[in-house]
Chain A
Amino acid sequence: AQSVTQLGSHVSVSEGALVLLRCNYSSSVPPYLFWYVQYPNQGLQLLLKYTTGATLVKGINGFEAEFKKSETSFHLTKPSAHMSDAAEYFCAVRNNFGNEKLTFGTGTRLTIIP
């Protein structure tokens, strides 16, 4: 079975500060990992994904994430928060095994303090 755990359902950071959203995964086979963002009243948009190769993945809007197998983690970071980053962020996992579905974490709501 596969799953992801997002630590912290709500994170607040000041504008210009570092953004760190935590995600740990559980998978019996090498995982594919994703971060999606959902703005209010919108669908989800892919920020970045890890499949194979380089463990530091760069995404859109200045976000990046690092796959750490030893820690089973895939934390999302951004050096300097912007007001427009306020949204719900979902970590997701999908195994490279047959026809597995994409499994989402419970989400982290990011609030930016002016």
Chain B
Amino acid sequence: DTEVTQTPKHLVMGMTNKKSLKCEQHMGHRAMYWYKQKAKKPPELMFVYSYEKLSINESVPSRFSPECPNSSLLNLHLHALQPEDSALYLCASSQGQATNEKLFFGSGTQLSVL
């Protein structure tokens, strides 16, 4: 199994809603990532978890709250988002955090904030 699975594929939410994005991998990878990608732009790193501990937070607003319950799962909790947060949210994983490692990406969750 070489897949990173993200759910849901599409999400529409209001600014007062609370929702969660989920990501799962069963490749035994110990590093997991959240990226945000606006239309026609490259992905921007948000968070990195290494061995289930948050190792990088790219100064992301607190309305985004990551969680890594175990080595296979990564969640992104959303609360009080703004319309400008509408984007494709990509999850990725890698064997470790070594700089030459390949990232495996999920297909993403397309988020629309109304």
Residues of A within 8 A of B (CB): 32, 41-46, 49, 51, 90, 94-97, 99-102, 104-107
Tell me the bound Cα distance from A41 to B10 in angstroms. 11
Tell me the bound Cα distance from A32 to B102 in angstroms. 11
Tell me how many residue pairs across A and B have CB atoms closer than 8 Å.
Answer: 52
Residues in chain A near residue B100, CB distance under 8 A: 32, 49, 51, 94, 96
Residues in chain A near residue B107, CB distance under 8 A: 41-43
**Residues 1-43 of chain B: 1 if any A CB is under 8 Å from the residue's CB, otherwise 0?**
0001010000000000000000000000000000000001111
B99 and A94 contacting across the interface, CB-CB below 8 Å: yes
CB distance from B17 to the nearest CB of A (A): 23
CB distance from A16 to the nearest CB of B (A): 27
Most buried by A among B55, B99, B103: B99
B42 and A43 contacting across the interface, CB-CB below 8 Å: no
Residues of B within 8 A of A (CB): 4, 6, 40-43, 45, 48, 55-56, 58, 90, 92, 97, 99-100, 102-103, 105-108, 110
Residue of A nearest to B4 (CB): A43
Tell me the bound Cα distance from A46 to B40 in angstroms. 19
